[in-house]
Amino acid sequence: MSGKVKIPQIVGIGEIVSDILPDSRKLGGAPADFLSFAVKHGAVGYLVSAIGADDLGRELVAELNKREINPVLSITPYPTGRVLIFNNPANGFTAHILENAAWDYIPYTTTAEACIQKADAVYFDTLALRKAYSQNTILDLIDMAPESAYKFFDVNLRQNYYTPLIIKQLIAKANILKLNIEELKVLKEVFKLTGTPENMCLKLKEEQNLKYVILTNMAKESFVFGDDDLTTVQNEPLQQTFAFGAGNAFAGAFMASILKGFTQKEAHEKANETAVEICKFNQKS
């Protein structure tokens, strides 16, 4: 471990949902999940999003508080976001994200702006930009982050809720990019990339002026392309059906570790350990 140890402030911007499973429901949405793991690894977390004036919204606020994530949530006339999750023998689950949710209408507020202006890192993904209202808010809020802050773009392609333009807008604001091997295929077309996955990641890093590019290949292995070197971690075979939530766990642990002064290799190993724990937990459940 190197550098000064501090308590970093990390802000997640985007969707907040209730994952409705066949027998239960739980807090969902990549920003909240990411922050859960960042907080567990020593960060202070803030979630900027929107909920409805309904019981489900109040339930999610209570869960955020339980996880020690500070809610920076606006209340809208729209219902709190929901994702219907069904068991699927082929890949473990199928998720259906409902339309016209509160998080599609996140307003720009002075409270959110003040929170972003103090951030050491800001996290965002593509899903929350599916509607123009939240798209405008999120793009403007990212610009309020300090120049020194990390801007963590976790691609997170979901259903058909993304466009090449959204991907280009977000990567232009980022200095950390995280994607999996399937998402790299999409970015290959968007940015006209060629060569091996490693060559494509290095080209993205250079052309988009990124500090880190993180590539995951299911639960098998992960790569971090940093300023100085490439670090690689390989795992014993784990079925992809058990990887639900592992990407957010990896991202949150990595970001908090980097901000606390860990080296790239140390942060990568800690992030991988956290993701593998999620896979093994899912396997037992």
Q: With bands split at pLDDT 50, 70 and 90, how would you rate the model's confidence at 229?
A: confident
263: enclosing H helix or E strand: none
Residue type, 13: I
- How high is the pLDDT of residue 241? 43
Q: Do the Cβ atoms of 25 and 18 come closer than 8 Å?
A: yes
- How high is the pLDDT of residue 220? 76
Is residue 216 predicted with pLDDT exceeding 80? yes
Contacts of 185-191 with C-beta under 8 Å, sequence gap 24+, read 186/155, 186/157, 187/155, 189/164, 190/164
Q: Average pLDDT for residues 236-244, to the nearest whole number?
A: 54
Q: Average pLDDT for residues 22-33, to the nearest whole number?
A: 92
Q: Do the Cβ atoms of 105 and 131 come closer than 8 Å?
A: yes
- How high is the pLDDT of residue 234? 87
pLDDT digits 0-9 by tens, 125-149? 999 999 999 999 999 999 999 999 9
189 or 227, higher pLDDT = 189
Q: With bands split at pLDDT 50, 70 and 90, how would you rate the model's confidence at 275?
A: confident
Is residue 227 predicted with pLDDT exceeding 90? no
Q: 155: buried, middle or exposed (CB in 10 Å: 19+, 13-18, 0-12)? A: buried
Q: With bands split at pLDDT 50, 70 and 90, how would you rate the model's confidence at 235?
A: confident
Mean residue pLDDT of the chain comes to: 91
Q: How many CB atoms lie within 10 A of CB 168?
A: 13
| CATH architecture group of domain 9-284 | 3-Layer(aba) Sandwich (3.40)
Is residue 264 predicted with pLDDT exceeding 90? yes
Tell me which residue of 248, 196, 246 sits closest to 225, measured CA to CA: 196
- How high is the pLDDT of residue 89? 63
Is residue 106 predicted with pLDDT exceeding 50? yes
Is residue 205 predicted with pLDDT exceeding 70? yes
pLDDT digits 0-9 by tens, 44-93? 999 999 999 999 999 999 999 999 999 999 999 999 999 998 876 665 66
Phi-psi region of 228 (alpha: psi -120 to 50; beta: other; left: phi over 0): alpha
Q: Average pLDDT for residues 211-225, to the nearest whole number?
A: 90
Phi-psi region of 68 (alpha: psi -120 to 50; beta: other; left: phi over 0): left
Q: Which residue do the tokens 């209730």 mark?
A: 18
pTM value is 0.93
- How high is the pLDDT of residue 17? 97
Would you kindly state where each structural domain of the chain is located, as residue ranges? Answer: 9-284
Q: Do the Cβ atoms of 58 and 80 come closer than 8 Å?
A: no
Is residue 215 predicted with pLDDT exceeding 90? yes
Q: What is the dihedral of CA 191, 192, 195, 197, to 10 degrees?
A: 30
Tell me which residue of 87, 118, 82, 83 sits closest to 102, measured CA to CA: 82
Name residue 176's beta-bridge partners: 152, 212
